Amino acid sequence: MQNIQFSVYIDTQDKRRLNLYLSHVFPYFSHLYINELIENGKVRVNGKSIHEGDRLRLRDLIEIECTTDKYYLDGENMPLEVISDNSDFIVISKDALINTHTFPGIYGKTGTLLNAILYHYGKECNINGIERPGIIHRLDRDTSGLIIIAKNGRSMQPLQEKIAKKEIRKLYYAVVVWLVSKTEWIIESYIWNDPSDYKKMTTRDPTDPKLARTKYRLISHIDNQYSLLEIELFTGRTHQIRVHMADMGNPIIGDKVYWNPDINLEVFEKYWLSRQWLHARELMFTLFWVDYHFVAPLKDDLRFILAENGIVIV
């Protein structure tokens, strides 16, 4: 056992109570232990003591002193598509149908991207004294593509800050329903939780609305009923691309939350697509005075619908 200091930078709009957030980040700690850490002044937010029920905000820095000997997850020998690997970070192209992080429940600590990274890179990653990788941002379970993983504390905080300040440029590819008429367009609206369904985000009377800005560029029409788009995010709201495309009247094909199940079934029967056609294609950023540009090849299930219509994108 060893005493360690650990820091977490809040890079998204997350208004959970402090103790609930820490329970998510450290599921191997009991609620009682987390509350004891807070009560004993072992947890500070932006350098100040805080109560367990206080809520977090974007750009909060949480500092924790605790005792541990290992990270809470076991590594699992799962395949990884590695795009780049250096001494500071790894760039992975995540497969679809895999959760980025753990989630509550008996099955929430296995089969995640984090389990796979621990197996392949656990010994190379050490952040603030813990053998663990630092996943910088997230993708939805059904979205494939690029994710950055910090290997050390030197790279983790600046990468988190770049995500929060929108200094990492992100481009996605998506196939949406119907033929998009405008070759380029910027969508701007307010997005946050749907008051009638906690699993969804909405632009229609959202609770605590946040500005969201999305740009798309038409690449090609497909099968005279779909459109292949390149999409750039200027903000990073949950489900932003999916909500904006659905609001525009061009929802992403295969989206189980924001689109029609009958059309999803039609796409599945014709193209064997069992998830949303959304892929985090490119990442561009500068770290330690070095410029980086990463591109993730399309996954096979996404390529199929394009190839069937004579479109070749690797």
Segment 252-311, tens digit of pLDDT: 999 999 988 888 999 999 999 999 999 999 999 999 999 999 999 999 999 999 999 999
Q: What percent of the chain has pLDDT over 70?
A: 87
Helical pair 300-307 and 261-271, crossing angle rounded to 10 deg: 80
Domain over 171-282+296-307 is classified CATH 3.30.1600.10: no
Catalytic, 88? Answer: no
* Average pLDDT of span 227-243: 94
For the chain, counts of helices (H) and of strands (E): 7, 15
**CATH of region 2-68:** 3.10.290.10
State whether residue 40 is helix, strand or coil. Answer: coil
Render the burial of 200-224: b for 16+ CB within 10 Å, e for the rest.
Answer: bbbbeebeeebebbbbbebbeebee
Which residue is catalytic, options 54, 60, 85, 140?
Answer: 140
Q: What percent of the chain has pLDDT over 90?
A: 52
Pick the CATH number of 81-165 from 3.40.50.360, 3.30.70.520, 3.30.2350.10, 1.10.3720.10: 3.30.2350.10
What is the pLDDT, as a whole number, of residue 106? Answer: 62
What is the pLDDT, as a whole number, of residue 301? Answer: 96
* Average pLDDT of span 164-190: 95
Task: Return the sign of the alpha-carbon dihedral for residues 131, 134, 138, 143.
Answer: negative
Whether the domain at 2-68 and the domain at 81-165 fall into the same CATH topology: no
Taking 80 as the threshold, does the pLDDT of residue 9 lie above it? no
Taking 80 as the threshold, does the pLDDT of residue 58 lie above it? no
More confident residue, 312 or 7: 312
